[in-house]
Structure 1
Amino acid sequence: MWPWSYAMSELKKPFNMGFLMIPEFAFLSFAATIDPLRMANRMANQTLYHWDLYTLDDKAVTPSNGIHLQPTRKLNDTEHLDGIIVVASKDAKRYHTKEISRWLTRLKQRRLMMGATSGGTIILAMSGLLGQEPCTTHWEFIDSFKEDFPSLNITTDIYEFDGQRLSCSGGTAALDMMLQLITVQHGAELAEKVAAQCIHPDIRPAHEEQRIALGARVNMKHPRLAKAIQVMKDHIEEPISCKQVAAEVGLSQRQMERVFKEHLDHRPNQYYLHLRLEKARLLLEQSDMSILNVAMASGFQSTSHFSQCYKRTYQRLPSADKRKVTS
């Protein structure tokens, strides 16, 4: 039986959670993961949770904000753990090693809870520790993550929690994920008290979208425009004509031109190209895909045309943004 599936009266106290801190992780998601445990202890007036920090080499680690953090235990000191959460960011791939895969695998074999924030999900995937249970990561990595691991059940939700694995997109989504964990282990009342301490009045469900709705982001109130953009996003790898996009949303091509210009100050074909190039840029930065494969995944039939469009938009060639593959 998994530790977190026990009835609340049977749950081992305290629950010992480990945090594997990968260099350059985002501090916000780390704080949003660990601090709810501290607040739960305080609100319950007892030690429900204990935590320890681990690093890849048992030495200080530096997150993206430059603060140095020391591990509290060495990698060979894990016998007390009930769960482990991998805290990482966009450069997670660069720090993955066979040694860390073996370390995480040994923990999984002991039936520990396995979790991740943001790029930490990528570490779990590279270690072969994710099956068909839903998982998520930061929206910026989603496309490259799906390209690298097409067999995984990857969602765009803010977090996933199925009782055996937990993962979140990072940022404040980590807070909602941990509040869900507290709810499962100690009840909704304690979770609501912790949320109140965080000035977080509404605990978000897992299926919330990571990014602000399109209409809110571009300050528009034109449902057919939003639908047209969604049609474009659905046809990135195999682009369709703007005439076809207009037909799918019930507009003439001229009407669609006018709506795009009025609300986005772009012609439809310009905006469509921007969506494709933005996907290409993220794939270049986050995946190991070749420039040719990135071009094809973004709807370009040749690398020369892709490079021309990319340079015209970003003032640099795709090779300048290609992620450096490390051993």
Structure 2
Amino acid sequence: MAEDPIQTTELDILVVPETNLILVASVIEPLRVANRVSGLDLYRWRIMSPDGLAIETKSRIPVPVDEVFRPENETTPLFVLSSHNWRRYATSALKTLLAKTARHRSVVAGIESGTWLLAETALLDGFSATSHWEDYEEFSSSYPQVRTVRERYVIDGKRITTGGSLPTLDLMLELIRRRHGYSMALEVSRQFIYEQGGTPGDAAAMPSTGSVRLADPRVSHAMRLMEEHIEQPLTLARLARRVGVSDRHLQSLFRETIGAPPHVHYLALRLNAARRKVIETRLAFADIAALTGFNSASAFARSYRAHFRESASDTRRRLRPGSGLVA
């Protein structure tokens, strides 16, 4: 994918009948949120079905589609979504279309049982792939030409596979991170956080950024401290002491758990908080800088522009309340 963060990424999404509604949402919602929090058309997608009719999901809520799946020579990524009874819909016609379009696509992704459809079409031969944990042994024995691995999702060159709905959400966050950086992935992930009432703070679920499996409790504690000290950021040494590890060990824990060092996560938290204040308030930028831990307005301005590729004034102009772009 290109590095220009303003360029729109287009995707084609083929939804097979009897797909779970949450699986469809796991692909689309992170893209929608990325568009909303950026105020830009970062992603566009077309939803297709094998016959052009709305998909009746297992929850009996239909998914409208834009068109029938009749690909030509499109190069945009193709996501193939399937959940239940995939064999019923793996017709020779559909497999032929998948095989033909895969020659041109930059990426073909099998989402949950979509992995089976790709394997059945020989599109995973020689690639590493994963499947839902319930089907792992059967999938591995059925397709020995595929390097089956026990992972939540697998990105192997031009092929992507996932093992379920929540792994798909992790995948989409990772793709957003690769395309638009850690700050964007973090801000999108925070829209999906649910914390059960009464859960101890350190044990609460932490946002996933694509590489998170289970957050180390020490990393969770450090993240919580960062969130509590946005206005007056803690140094790495103080964070490490509060968590009970050395500076170097804390850095290693962060890299192992979220794939980013503490200072990257901390700066992303502060800049995302600043961005929300730019959008949602009329505070002066100097005041926002002070509230988010920057020692000067100029330092804030430089950091803001480096992360968001626009000035705070530009953001406020585009995404001011009432503009209709942040709803």
**1:45-65: per-residue Cα shift (whole Å, max 9, x none)?**
100100111111111221111
Query: Which residue type is aligned with residue 14 of structure 1?
Result: T
| Cross-structure match for 2:121 | 127
Quick check: 1:160–1:206 contact (8 Å CA) kept in 2?
A: no
What's the offset of the Cα at 1:111? Answer: 3.0
In structure 2, relative to structure 1, the CA distance for the partners of 1:148 and 1:12 (3 Å cut) is farther
Quick check: 2:50–2:68 contact (8 Å CA) kept in 1?
A: no
In 2: Cα distance, 1:101 partner to 1:12 partner? 35
| Cross-structure match for 1:21 | 15
In 2: Cα distance, 1:132 partner to 1:207 partner? 27
| Cross-structure match for 2:172 | 178
Do residues 82 (structure 1) and 76 (structure 2) align? yes
What's the offset of the Cα at 1:207? Answer: 8.7
In 1: Cα distance, 2:209 partner to 2:44 partner? 25
What's the offset of the Cα at 1:133? Answer: 2.4
Do residues 112 (structure 1) and 106 (structure 2) align? yes
Quick check: 1:19–1:53 contact (8 Å CA) kept in 2?
A: yes
Q: SS at the partner of 1:174?
A: helix
Alignment of 1:227-246 (within 5 A): none
| Cross-structure match for 1:195 | 189
Q: Give me the identity figure in percent.
A: 26
Quick check: 1:17–1:81 contact (8 Å CA) kept in 2?
A: no
In 2: Cα distance, 1:177 partner to 1:105 partner? 23
Do residues 57 (structure 1) and 51 (structure 2) align? yes
What's the offset of the Cα at 1:191? Answer: 0.7
Q: 1:140 aligns with which of 128, 134, 144?
A: 134
Query: Which residue type is aligned with residue 153 of structure 2?
Result: Y
Structure 1 runs, 4 residues or longer, greater than 4 Å off: 77-81, 204-209
Aligned residues: 203
91-100 vs 119-128, greater mean Cα deviation: 91-100
Query: Which residue type is aligned with residue 146 of structure 1?
Result: S
In structure 2, relative to structure 1, the CA distance for the partners of 1:70 and 1:49 (3 Å cut) is same
Query: Which residue type is aligned with residue 194 of structure 1?
Result: V
**1:244-275: per-residue Cα shift (whole Å, max 9, x none)?**
xxxxxxxxxxxxxxxxxxxxxxxxxxxxxxxx
Quick check: 2:185–2:209 contact (8 Å CA) kept in 1?
A: no
In 2: Cα distance, 1:72 partner to 1:33 partner? 16
What's the offset of the Cα at 1:199? Answer: 1.4
In structure 2, relative to structure 1, the CA distance for the partners of 1:207 and 1:147 (3 Å cut) is farther
In 2: Cα distance, 1:78 partner to 1:38 partner? 26
| Cross-structure match for 2:62 | 68
What's the offset of the Cα at 1:184? Answer: 1.1
**1:46-102: per-residue Cα shift (whole Å, max 9, x none)?**
001001111111112211111122211222366666111111113112210121122
Q: SS at the partner of 2:108?
A: strand
In 1: Cα distance, 2:35 partner to 2:157 partner? 21
Q: 2:40 aligns with which of 36, 43, 46?
A: 46
Q: 2:148 aligns with which of 138, 144, 154?
A: 154
What's the offset of the Cα at 1:18? Answer: 1.3
Q: SS at the partner of 2:207?
A: coil
Query: Which residue type is aligned with residue 84 of structure 2?
Result: K
What's the offset of the Cα at 1:208? Answer: 4.5
What's the offset of the Cα at 1:206? Answer: 5.6
In 2: Cα distance, 1:181 partner to 1:163 partner? 13
TM-score (norm 2): 0.58
Do residues 34 (structure 1) and 28 (structure 2) align? yes
What's the offset of the Cα at 1:13? Answer: 2.9
In 2: Cα distance, 1:163 partner to 1:147 partner? 23
Q: SS at the partner of 2:68?
A: coil
In 2: Cα distance, 1:137 partner to 1:78 partner? 28
After superposition, the CA RMSD in angstroms is 2.2
Q: 1:167 aligns with which of 153, 161, 172?
A: 161
Q: SS at the partner of 1:115?
A: strand
